[in-house]
Structure formats: structure tokens, C-alpha cells
Amino acid sequence: MIEIEKRQPNRERNVNITFRVTEKEHEMILRRMEQTGIQNLRAFLLKMAIDGHVIRLDLSGVRDMVRLLKNATDNINQIARRVNAAGNLYAGDVENLRLRYEDLWEQAGSILRKLGEL
């Protein structure tokens, strides 16, 4: 049975909802809450009650992509400094840069595929 009680009408959230669960259900709720990364039980239950689901994105691929992008940017800066100082552009530098951008696009494609599965 769910108990609903209205109190403190001057508050934005003035309805108190209370319900009971078994120990096993409580453990399941806490486990699910941990999986979603939400640490506040009230926030988790409200999110589930309103939306019916919580999506937690694994952003490790994005972090990898940012790292690859930083490496490529660093390489571009090194090449630009060398070209400005010596006036030479080496084929090895261009190939290294091409490979790094290839890795970057592979990572971006992987992220997009995963997002498409949601």
C-alpha cells in the first residue's frame, strides 16, 4: 500500500509518498541504483517513477577519443613549429598524423555505433 500525505503547502514538493519493500527488493533497488551511478535514493526513485528507466552512458570511449585528439593536436603543433623553423615538411610527420586521425575516426565511429544501440 502506498501512503500519500500532503503537508507544508508552501513547499514546492509538498506531497510525501511512502511505500514498503522487502529486504530482497531493497537490495535489488540499491543494486540497480549503483548500476546507474545515482547515489541519492530519492533522486533514483523519482527518476524511475517519472521516466521508467535510467540510462547510464559509458564515456570511456569519449575519454579515449579526447586523448587521441590531444595527441593529434600536439603533433600538428610540433609539425607547424618545425615547418616554421626549418621550412621543411617531412613525409613521416604527415603519415604519423594520418594514422592518428584514422585512430580518432575509428573511435568516433565506435562511439556513434554504441549510441545508436541505445
The tens-digit pLDDT sequence of the chain (118 residues) is 666 666 666 778 888 888 899 999 999 999 999 988 899 999 999 988 898 866 777 778 888 888 888 888 888 888 888 888 888 888 888 888 888 888 888 888 888 888 777 6
Closest by CA to 90, choosing from 75, 69, 104, is 75
50: left (phi over 0), alpha (psi -120 to 50) or beta: alpha
pLDDT of residue 30: 94
pLDDT of residue 112: 83
Helix (H, G, I), strand (E, B) or coil at 94: helix
pLDDT of residue 55: 72
87: left (phi over 0), alpha (psi -120 to 50) or beta: left
